[in-house]
Amino acid sequence: MRVRDAGNTVGKSGQVKRRTCPCLIRAIADRGVKVCLMPCLGLEDAIGTAVRQACYIVAEELRPKVTVLGCAPALFVGAEEDIIYVLSYPVIAIEACSYACGTRMCRRYGKEPNAVIYADEFLRESGIDLGVESNYILGELGQRASKLLAERIVEEVDRLLLSEVRRVAKVTSKQRAEGGAEGG
């Protein structure tokens, strides 16, 4: 299966930012393929708030039908919905520091995240320092950080969605081939 991307843009550093065609995302949503976002939900610093808000932007605005939010505290008390998300879908852990709470939550259920984004490193590379931001309600800088992070998360979401579609297609075609061989 060939997958086409449209509307690619070139970032400041010269790297090509792949923007996935919206109709492709709609088609993927129709197939029920989703990605689980497992963010750091730390309360002590603004970066935790920025990560949380970035996940809301992705799940509610940018990729609403193809993402679910993994709730770390709910996983602790065995909430079925969240366990199913982690075990059934590819997972992106979005970490605020090297302690990597999102990754640790996945491992608790025997799953290694399919992708990890270190928000602290990403924001540092983007020239954003949230040191002066409030962890309560984000100011202008925090909101800008959330938007940038959301775009970064979307890149990973799209990559994992396409990879998951390819994987499912491969499994389906193999099953068909085996079924055909048995039938013939």
The reply to whether 109 sits near another protein by the rule CB under 8 A is no
Q: Which CB sits closer to another protein, 79 or 168? A: 79
Long-range contacts of 135-143 (CB under 8 A, 24+ apart): 135/43, 135/44, 135/45, 135/46, 135/48, 135/49, 136/49, 137/49, 138/46, 138/49, 138/50, 138/53, 142/46, 142/49, 142/50, 142/53, 143/53
The reply to whether 62 sits near another protein by the rule CB under 8 A is no
The reply to whether 3 sits near another protein by the rule CB under 8 A is no
Contact set for another protein, span 119-138 (CB under 8 A) = 135-137
Among 20, 45, 52, 67, which residue sits at the site for another protein (rule: CB under 8 A)?
Answer: 52
CB of 125 to another protein, least distance (A): 25
Size of the site for another protein (CB under 8 A): 31
* Residue 29 Cα distances to 41, 67, 143, 162, angstroms: 26, 9, 28, 11
Among 7, 73, 139, 179, which residue sits at the site for another protein (rule: CB under 8 A)?
Answer: 73
